[in-house]
Amino acid sequence: MNATVVLAGNPNSGKTTLFNELTGGRQHVGNYPGVTVEKKQGTCKTDTGRFEIVDLPGTYSLTAYSLEEVVARDFLVNEKPSMIINIVDASNLERNLYLSVQFMEMGLPVCIALNMMDVAKKRGIEIDIQKLSGLLSIPVVPIVARDGKGKQALMASVAENIGQSRQPLRISYGRDLDAALDEMEALIRPAEFLTRSYDPRWTALKYLENDQQVIDRGYKQDKATAMKLDAVVQRVRTHIAHTLDTHPEGIIADHRYGYVHSVLKQGVIRFFQDENRIQVSDRIDRIVTHRFMGPVIMVAMLMGLYQFTFTFSTIPVAWLESFFGWVSAMAEQALPEGMVRSLLVSGIIDGMGGVLGFVPLIMFMFLGIAFLEDTGYLARMSFMLDRIFRMFGLHGSSVMAFIVSGGIAGGCAVPGVMAARTLKSPKERLATLLTVPFMNCGAKLPVFALLVAAFFAESRAEVMLLITLISWTGALLVAWFLRSTLIRGESTPFVMELPPYRLPTLKGLFIHTFERIIQYVKKAGTVILLISIILWAMMTFPGLDETRTKEFEDRRSTIVSGLSQETADEIMTQKDEKLTKPMLTVKENLLQVDRDQAREALENSVAGRMGAALESITRFAGFDWRTNIALVGGFAAKEVVVSTLGTAYSLGEVDPEETASLSGRLKTAEGWGPLTAFSLILFTIFYSPCFVTVVCIAKETGSWKWAAFSMVFNTCLALLVSTVFYQIGSLVLA
């Protein structure tokens, strides 16, 4: 049997875990047509058949409150899957079944996968599966998603029940609403109003629920019928407001929960303990979200994460660095001197190597963040920070957008900008998406890692924590500035579930981390590689003209003029140890000429001139022309700052025996010190978002005005911050 099956359920019900269990590694990610909600798909092969499994976004309801709900609903209506596997958290049955009932009301084939039976048992909940299945007249299969128990039985049950026709579930919504539903159904059926997509009674129900998406669709399809339905809804609405002092949507939700409750009360569920008894999770929360302890623990958690990352990544990063050093030395020896060698060694290896060298660091960082994500701690961060965020004109959901963008480190501003969609108020949304680019995305991470390794090796975790705090403070202040000047407006509600703490599964952690590492490497191998090549060319051409080249040649001839051919060859080919003192001096002089020439060639190149032109502004922030090139390149992608510095200092490097890592080179380079490094860190935090993010901002806000604003405003801000820091720093240190 071949069939498409969707996986649906509440957030935090173990949906992703089950999806991973069912599909293993065989999954691919796309997105739902027209929107940027992720669509995961995978194949599950069992003895009963081959199933294409689509992972729907997790939702609590199908009322079109959030984008996820709309996406889930549209997919079910348009694609008409053969079966919905509705994953239901047994320890939280009532609220989970609220969603199942809505699938059944739509007349869709549902099979319940009852997850976390083990947790339920521990909490003293006993569930009569037979009875539940009988009362709802749909199959119910107990599973434990964490270890894959019951997945065979689940898929067998799915195979067995595919193709059986079923009637939409009818729930009574009280006399008033039932009468209205009947009346509306009588209008809908003959007019064939939206009947191609929805069951007539369901359409009527959505009209009563004031579901804007369905109402808009109806209005477009058949204005006359839509008006008639509107009239009925209006009448009922007024009537209910008068007699019961409430709204139809309230009554509908109450009755829906009432239906679920009545099913459960018929002996389906038995509690051996108070269901609201204090759980372990609540005890943890008492400490973790405590008035004083909460914030302290939050900072300690970040510090711990950075400490963990740096402690474990130092050695592998050093290995990779020496590996790339070895590769570049090999290439240097294998190839004759010239353009090709320079492109390969200085452009590609030293450019890309700088970025790839940080793979272990990125990996440990992601592992740590995936751990925090999977335990449920991030929801607590939103909970604790909502009030503060509101003071600055943002929203608890902005915390999520911030973290997606790299609030802890190592995210990406593009999904962060999109995450702002979960915000309902356009003003809060705008303020959020304009400030998320200040977070420390995975592309800025190698820049920080490089500078921290070179200049703050003693206190790496502390500096990383400081960087995080600066970017959050900056983002909040900018948000506040925007919200009190350009985008003023009210704040919107914040209702969120705090999922119980869970110990993440190793499999989940590895899938999470692995996916991200693959992307990091992929990006280094594609975009960063291309930009490295282009920037190398910009840093090489046009090179020096003939007269200058000749002058350098002349200087060399003068140095070696008094020597015999043999001695000259010896100086060039022999190792330093074998040379005599006067010979060493000659060699050093020759190298100095090479250095001067390389430096002048670099300064004369397209990029060099550009960088030098910018120096008149940036030197107050402590940046020389090389850094300027790197920063301009960083607009394409922030990792380029590292790769460009790699290329720039590699082009200036002439001694083939010296293959120091980039951080080693920076340490000894002229004009560099902790002050410059930190000034560059500040600039990197705040300056213009990368190209892709800018495009994304333009699309999300629907205007290029805001995209241009974020480029100009952020860059000016960054320049201001760095300059002030550098100037004050120089004064203090002087």
Closer CB to other proteins, 32 or 725, in the complex: 32
- What is the smallest separation between the CB atom of 35 and other proteins, expressed in angstroms? 10
- What is the smallest separation between the CB atom of 343 and other proteins, expressed in angstroms? 6
Q: Please, which of residues 605-664 interact with other proteins by CB under 8 A? A: 636-637
- What is the smallest separation between the CB atom of 675 and other proteins, expressed in angstroms? 29
- What is the smallest separation between the CB atom of 212 and other proteins, expressed in angstroms? 9
> What 3-state class would DSSP assign to 149?
strand
d(C-alpha 568, C-alpha 583), whole Å:
9
Closer CB to other proteins, 187 or 385, in the complex: 385
Q: Please, which of residues 396-415 interact with other proteins by CB under 8 A? A: 396-397, 400-401, 403-404, 406, 410-415
Query: Is 379 a residue that touches other proteins (CB under 8 A)?
Result: yes
- What is the smallest separation between the CB atom of 440 and other proteins, expressed in angstroms? 10
d(C-alpha 442, C-alpha 631), whole Å:
16
d(C-alpha 214, C-alpha 202), whole Å:
10
d(C-alpha 118, C-alpha 351), whole Å:
52
Closer CB to other proteins, 446 or 622, in the complex: 446
- What is the smallest separation between the CB atom of 412 and other proteins, expressed in angstroms? 4
Q: Which of 215-223, 379-387, 571-579, 588-596 is the region at the interface with other proteins (rule: CB under 8 A)?
A: 379-387
Please answer whether residues 472 and 394 qualify as being in contact, where contact means their C-beta atoms are separated by less than 8 angstroms. no
- What is the smallest separation between the CB atom of 410 and other proteins, expressed in angstroms? 6
- If you write DSSP's letter for every residue of 591-642 in order, what string do you get? HHHHHHHHHHHHHHSHHHHHHHHHHHHHGGGT--HHHHHHHHHTTT-TTHHH
Q: How far is CA 345 from the centre of its chain?
A: 33
The 8-class DSSP code of residue 653 comes to -
Q: Which of 136-144, 250-258, 479-487, 716-724 is the region at the interface with other proteins (rule: CB under 8 A)?
A: 250-258
Query: Is 11 a residue that touches other proteins (CB under 8 A)?
Result: yes
Rg over alpha carbons for the chain, rounded to the nearest Å, is 32
Q: Please, which of residues 156-195 interact with other proteins by CB under 8 A? A: none
d(C-alpha 32, C-alpha 418), whole Å:
14
Closer CB to other proteins, 494 or 620, in the complex: 494
d(C-alpha 432, C-alpha 381), whole Å:
16
- What is the smallest separation between the CB atom of 388 and other proteins, expressed in angstroms? 7
Please answer whether residues 587 and 579 qualify as being in contact, where contact means their C-beta atoms are separated by less than 8 angstroms. yes
Please answer whether residues 52 and 43 qualify as being in contact, where contact means their C-beta atoms are separated by less than 8 angstroms. yes
Please answer whether residues 32 and 44 qualify as being in contact, where contact means their C-beta atoms are separated by less than 8 angstroms. no
Q: 274: which 2 tokens?
A: 């108070």
Closer CB to other proteins, 467 or 590, in the complex: 467
The half-sphere exposure of 440 on its side-chain side, counting CA atoms within 13 A, is 26
Query: Is 291 a residue that touches other proteins (CB under 8 A)?
Result: yes
Closer CB to other proteins, 71 or 621, in the complex: 71
Each residue 674-713 as x (binds other proteins by CB under 8 A) or -, in order, gives -----------------xxx-xx--x--------------
Q: Which of 248-256, 544-552, 559-567, 652-660 is the region at the interface with other proteins (rule: CB under 8 A)?
A: 248-256
- By rule CB under 8 A, what count of residues binds other proteins? 120
Each residue 34-53 as x (binds other proteins by CB under 8 A) or -, in order, gives --xxxx--------------
What are the residues whose beta carbons fall under 8 Å from the beta carbon of 549, sequence distance 6 or more?
597
d(C-alpha 493, C-alpha 487), whole Å:
18
Alpha helices in 244-395 (DSSP H): 248-265, 280-288, 293-334, 339-342, 350-356, 359-375, 377-391
- What is the smallest separation between the CB atom of 391 and other proteins, expressed in angstroms? 9
Closer CB to other proteins, 638 or 665, in the complex: 638
Closer CB to other proteins, 400 or 711, in the complex: 400
Q: Please, which of residues 527-546 interact with other proteins by CB under 8 A? A: 527, 529-531, 533-534, 536-537
Q: Which of 44-52, 149-157, 478-486, 511-519 is the region at the interface with other proteins (rule: CB under 8 A)?
A: 511-519
Closer CB to other proteins, 338 or 562, in the complex: 338
- What is the smallest separation between the CB atom of 252 and other proteins, expressed in angstroms? 8
Q: Please, which of residues 103-132 interact with other proteins by CB under 8 A? A: 123, 125
Query: Is 210 a residue that touches other proteins (CB under 8 A)?
Result: yes
Query: Is 219 a residue that touches other proteins (CB under 8 A)?
Result: no
d(C-alpha 542, C-alpha 538), whole Å:
8
What are the residues whose beta carbons fall under 8 Å from the beta carbon of 566, sequence distance 6 or more?
none
Query: Is 499 a residue that touches other proteins (CB under 8 A)?
Result: yes
- What is the smallest separation between the CB atom of 507 and other proteins, expressed in angstroms? 15
Query: Is 290 a residue that touches other proteins (CB under 8 A)?
Result: yes
Query: Is 15 a residue that touches other proteins (CB under 8 A)?
Result: yes
Which residue in 369, 431, 463, 544 binds other proteins (CB under 8 A)?
369
Query: Is 272 a residue that touches other proteins (CB under 8 A)?
Result: no
Q: Which of 165-173, 249-257, 664-672, 673-681 is the region at the interface with other proteins (rule: CB under 8 A)?
A: 249-257
d(C-alpha 254, C-alpha 422), whole Å:
26
What are the residues whose beta carbons fall under 8 Å from the beta carbon of 708, sequence distance 6 or more?
none
Q: Which of 316-324, 471-479, 514-522, 545-553 is the region at the interface with other proteins (rule: CB under 8 A)?
A: 514-522
Query: Is 310 a residue that touches other proteins (CB under 8 A)?
Result: no
- What is the smallest separation between the CB atom of 68 and other proteins, expressed in angstroms? 5
- DSSP run (H or E) holding 596: helix 581-604
Which residue in 176, 249, 551, 594 binds other proteins (CB under 8 A)?
249
Give the C-alpha distances (Å, rounded to integers) separating 150 from 18, 140, 705: 10, 11, 54
Please answer whether residues 90 and 10 qualify as being in contact, where contact means their C-beta atoms are separated by less than 8 angstroms. no
- What is the smallest separation between the CB atom of 518 and other proteins, expressed in angstroms? 9
The half-sphere exposure of 310 on its side-chain side, counting CA atoms within 13 A, is 23
Query: Is 514 a residue that touches other proteins (CB under 8 A)?
Result: no
Please answer whether residues 282 and 380 qualify as being in contact, where contact means their C-beta atoms are separated by less than 8 angstroms. no
Q: Which of 62-70, 170-178, 186-194, 476-484 is the region at the interface with other proteins (rule: CB under 8 A)?
A: 62-70
Which residue in 20, 23, 61, 471 binds other proteins (CB under 8 A)?
61
- How many residues belong to the chain? 734
Q: Please, which of residues 312-341 interact with other proteins by CB under 8 A? A: 338-340
d(C-alpha 546, C-alpha 56), whole Å:
65
Amino acid identity of residue 447, one-letter, is V
Q: How far is CA 330 from the centre of its chain?
A: 38
Q: How far is CA 515 from the centre of its chain?
A: 12
Helix (H), strand (E), coil (C) string for 438-466: HCCCCCCHHHHHHHHHHHCHHHHHHHHHH
d(C-alpha 350, C-alpha 648), whole Å:
9
Query: Is 343 a residue that touches other proteins (CB under 8 A)?
Result: yes
Please answer whether residues 396 and 385 qualify as being in contact, where contact means their C-beta atoms are separated by less than 8 angstroms. yes
Q: Which of 103-111, 420-428, 604-612, 725-733 is the region at the interface with other proteins (rule: CB under 8 A)?
A: 420-428
Q: Please, which of residues 428-487 interact with other proteins by CB under 8 A? A: 441-443, 445
Closer CB to other proteins, 325 or 499, in the complex: 499
